[in-house]
Amino acid sequence: MSIQTLTTAHDAATSSTRTDGADTAAALVQRALHVEPTALVPQLLTQSGNTIHRVELADGRTVVLRVSSQPAAYAHTEANLAALRALGLPVQQVLAAGTAAPGRSFVILNWLDGFDLKFALPAMRADQMAAVAERVADCQRRVAGLPASRGFGWAPIGRDAAHARWTDLFGAPADASVAVEATPLNQLRARLRAVRATLEPYFAACTPVCFLDDLTTRNVIVDDGALSGFIDLDFVCYGDPLLQVGTTLAYLAADVGDAGRAYGDALVDCWSPSGDARRAMYFYAGLWTTGFLASAEAAGDAWRIRVLEPAARALLDAAEAD
C-alpha cells in the first residue's frame, strides 16, 4: 500500500508520529471500507482527544476518520445523525464504525468541504454571516421539536441526561464569604455569582429541550461563505437552547474578535430573547469567557488576557442589565 502523508499548518506532530499514525489510519480505513487510501491529512486535534484524518480514497471519495481513546465514543453517532438528517439538518453520513484497537473506537464519515466558522468569518460579508446564523437558528428550532429528556445535560438523542436541574450544569455556587484576592478574574467570578443568583428562578423554569450545544465557531462548516454542514454531533444537550447562543458569543470574543461581530449580532437577532432569557444568554457568554480567561491566566498568555478581560466585562454588563 502506497500512502501519501500530507501535512498542514495545524499538524504539530513529529514526522515519525505522522508516519506511524498514517500507517495505522490507512490500514483501518482499508479494512473498514475495502478501498485503498491514497492520501491522508492529519487534522487539528480536538479538545475531545480524538485523532482525525482526512482521507483520499482510490475511488475518488474523500472521507474523515475519527479515532477515540474511549471504547464507546461513537456508539450513538449513527443514530444521532439519522435523527438529525430526518429533520433536514446538513449532517454527515456514517460509512463505518467499530473498534480500532483494544479500548479504542473509530468512525468514518463523508467529508464536508469548507472550514470551521471561526476560520471562515474574517473573509465573509455581513449578509453571508446573517444567512449562516439564520440556518443555524432554524436547525436548532427543528431539533427542539425532538422529544424532551427527563434530565438536563448531555446525552444521545432519545436518552435521558444525568442532571436533575439545569443549574447543576454550572456546578455548585462558590462560597462568596471566602476571602479572595481582588484580581480582575476574581471580580468577574463574583459578578457571575451575583448574576446567577438572580437567574435561579429562570433556570428552575427551564425544561430539558433538545439542542446542539457545540454549534459555536467550531463544528459549523462554511464553504465559500455558505453553510456546508455540521460535524461532531456524537451527543446533544437537553436544557436551554440559548446556551448555544451564549457560548457562541464567548467563542467569537475569544477566537475571532470584531471580524465575527456581525455573526454574533445576527444569531442574537434570530432568537430575540428578552427579559431573563436575554440575561441568561449573556450569563452563559460571560461564564464561558471567564473560563477562557482563567485558562489564559494559567498559561501566562498575556495577549489573550488583554482580549478576554474587557470582553467578559462587557458580556456581564449585558447580563446585569434589566
Judge whether residue 51 has pLDDT over 80: yes
Neighbouring residues of 235: CB distance < 8 A, sequence distance ≥ 6: 76, 80, 154, 155, 156
CB burial of residue 11 (10 Å; 0-12, 13-18, 19+):
middle
| Helix-helix angle 275-299:184-205, to 10 degrees | 140
pTM: 0.90
Does residue 254 contact residue 224 with C-beta atoms inside 8 Å?
Answer: no
- φ, ψ dihedrals at 227, nearest 5°: -65, 130
What is the distance of C-alpha 196 from the center of its chain? 23
Q: How high does pLDDT run on average in the chain? A: 91
Cα angle for residues 250, 254, 259 (degrees, 5° grid): 95
How many residues make up the chain in this entry?
Answer: 322
pLDDT confidence of residue 11: 37
Residue 294's alpha-carbon distances to 183, 289, 305, in angstroms, are: 11, 9, 9
- Helix and strand counts by DSSP (H, E) for the chain: 9, 12
pLDDT confidence of residue 17: 34
Q: For the chain, which domains are there?
A: 4-110 (3.30.200.20), 115-320 (3.90.1200.10)
Q: Which three cell numbers stand for residue 84?
A: 438529525
Please write the tens of the pLDDT for every residue from 243-290: 999 999 999 999 999 999 999 999 999 999 999 999 999 999 999 999
Name which of 21-35, 173-187, 247-261 the model is least confident about.
Answer: 173-187
Query: DSSP class of residue 152?
Result: B
pLDDT confidence of residue 102: 84
The more confident residue out of 20 and 157 is 157
Judge whether residue 237 has pLDDT over 80: yes
Query: DSSP class of residue 163?
Result: B
Please write the tens of the pLDDT for every residue from 53-76: 999 999 999 999 999 999 999 999
Judge whether residue 133 has pLDDT over 60: yes
- Share of residues in the chain with pLDDT > 90 (%): 84
pLDDT confidence of residue 43: 86
Judge whether residue 306 has pLDDT over 60: yes
- Share of residues in the chain with pLDDT > 70 (%): 90
Exposure b/e, 275-286, CB count within 10 A at least 16 = b: eeebbbbbbbbb
Residue 217's alpha-carbon distances to 65, 109, 116, 135, 161, in angstroms, are: 21, 21, 7, 14, 25
Cα angle for residues 202, 285, 160 (degrees, 5° grid): 55
Question: DSSP letter string over 174-229?
Answer: P-TTS-----HHHHHHHHHHHHHHHHHHHHHH---EEE-TT-SSSSEEEETTEEEE
Q: Which three cell numbers stand for residue 177?
A: 464569604
pLDDT confidence of residue 172: 85
**Number of Cβ atoms within 10 Å of the Cβ of 92:** 23
